[in-house]
Copies of this chain bind each other. A is one copy, B any other.
Amino acid sequence: MTAEILAVARRHVADEGAASLSLRSVARDLEMAPSALYRYFDGRDALLSALILDAYESLAGEAEAAAEAAAQAAKRPETDAARWLAVPRALRAWALTHPHEWGLIFGTPVPGYEAPEQTVEPYARIAAALVRPVVEAEAAGRLQAGAGAGRAVSDDLEAAVRPVREGLFPDMPVGTVVRAVEAWTTIVGAISLEVFGHWRNTVLNPGTLFEATTRELASTMGLT
């Protein structure tokens, strides 16, 4: 039943966005009394929290599946750079099929409402999936020297990026860590600009641009 409520609520968010999600409309769709939902959720905010978490988990699952599939495929001869593309593509594909959920994660925060603490874990999983080919290429000694790794990094910058390095990149050159964070920035930016409609009349084929951009990021990080 909880699952059924979530399914309907998820559909509402997908159709109209989170702002107009209401307990009453969900109840209506389920042909229940609004008060019945209180048996399953503490109120509207609790339902919204569950949906946000849901979106994070869904995206994380997608990212991990793509990373895993690419890792399997890489047993056949394939370059690291080609393998790298899998997760960004999966993120973009998910965002295009779930634009409102993407907005829930990366868009304007709902005012006066704090995202639940549990989003930290799936968020880290998304980042880890993205970065997995880089980590594995580095471990195998296949990361091109002189690219990200060779770059000078100030002490300030190194300190700023320390949590990322400790969380995702044990024993990785700082230069590469910085590049990876920048890659994350670019990917999220590219997807958000597309999903939120900012390429309209500007970039005619966002898919082509996205592909080129992510390829570029690969070589920036020293993947070949």
Contact = CB atoms under 8 A, between A and B. Distances in A.
Contacts of A36: none
A148 to B, nearest CB: 10
Contacts of A178: 209, 212
A201 to B, nearest CB: 6
A61 interface: no
A205 B160 contact: yes
B107 A212 contact: no
A112 interface: yes
- How many identical subunits does the complex contain? 2
Contacts of A112: 16, 20
A160 B202 CA distance: 8
Contacts of A100: 108, 111
B189 A111 contact: no
Interface stretch (A43-51, A84-92, A190-198): A190-198
Nearest to A209: B160
A189 B196 contact: no
Q: Which of A17, A164, A188 has the most CB of B within 10 A?
A: A188
A223 to B, nearest CB: 17
A7 interface: no
Contact of A120 (B103, B197, B201, B203): B201
B202 A163 contact: yes
